Chains A and B, each alone.
Chain A
């Protein structure tokens, strides 16, 4: 009987086995990592908008309050996008014929809405309400990030269930006083914990009752 395989064959076979195992493990880790990646949570994406609206300019530099445009935020589930007329309250006075604002004027004259691209969108089976969060002392910044530094708006936080549930388990770290709800870059004063507890108590937050399914899914 003669050798069927050359000595090298062993090396190859073992390499093959080791490689296979490595690939398997690596693949698993890779897939899970990909699911958490910025790509999948679309936090890396700055969609083009019909009008290159800059929150940095309006909210940051001019310091317009969020609620001026997103008027529904305290009254309903949806913060709402501003109607064209809201834009025109100022832009009928200033930058009246800036080319950049042509779509806005078009919208008003032709009664056609501006087709914005939604940046913050949750799946249909998630029933999120802005009003209750705002009323209970969760600031805009908590979910939307430093909007006042965004020339083009993007999704600052990954809107995964983990993200929501973390806060629903313990809202404390994200609570702020009423007057600072829309404030950006709001720093908590020295006696943070006490103050947060005070807010929590004052708002009567139902700790431990915010993590069951029907709070968000119906």
Chain B
């Protein structure tokens, strides 16, 4: 069954309509749902029961890693060839603070953005939904709800009917 389609793509005219439909779909027992919107819509991830993203934790770890790398580097080079620089201490922690701070931020920021892309599975140039005839409106002023074919309750005809009932302007079957 599931093999012959990726899922059904339903188009809505406003974020509110989309939210309503999403809630109904959850209510109707659909689990493999996804929505596509031109800008982040409040409450959508709640309606779809999406897990809280864990990007922040990775950022934290990245920060610590950066600090550690910076400190170790600076201490090591002074340990490897200790030179008397204007009578300053060999391990001048106060002087090392600046580079440590910079690297903390660098590592943290980059790790978060990398994590974001990774978890989103980006880059991904080819994706079934792109085949949707009206999908290009998802980046303009339309709001899409997608029921994927690997959902237990998925059935091309009934699901399509269900979506129209919940106010979709158009419903389309996305090939795999």
Contacts and interface: CB of A to CB of B under 8 A. Distances in A.
A and B touching (Cβ–Cβ under 8 A) = yes
Interface of B: 81, 83-84, 123-126, 130-136
Contact of B131 (A2, A10, A211): A2
Interface in A6-20: 6-7, 9-10, 13-14, 17
Contacts of B123: 10, 13-14, 17
Given A1-B130, A3-B130, A13 B125 contact: yes
A1 B135 contact: yes
Interface of A: 1-7, 9-10, 13-14, 17, 165, 211-212
Contacts of B130: 1-4
7 contacts: A1-B133, A3-B130, A4-B130, A7-B126, A9-B125, A10-B123, A212-B83
A173 B135 CA distance: 75
Contacts of A9: 125-126
B126 A1 contact: no
A3 B136 CA distance: 11
Nearest to B134: A1
Given A17-B123, A212-B83, 11 more contacts: A1-B130, A1-B133, A2-B131, A3-B126, A6-B126, A9-B125, A9-B126, A14-B123, A165-B81, A211-B81, A212-B84
Most B-side CB within 10 Å, residue of A1, A3, A13, A14: A1
Nearest to B124: A10
A5 B130 CA distance: 10
A212 B82 CA distance: 10
Nearest to B131: A3
B62 to A, nearest CB: 17
A70 B81 CA distance: 34
B40 to A, nearest CB: 22
B127 to A, nearest CB: 8
Nearest to A8: B126
B69 to A, nearest CB: 16
A9 B127 CA distance: 11
Contacts of B136: 1
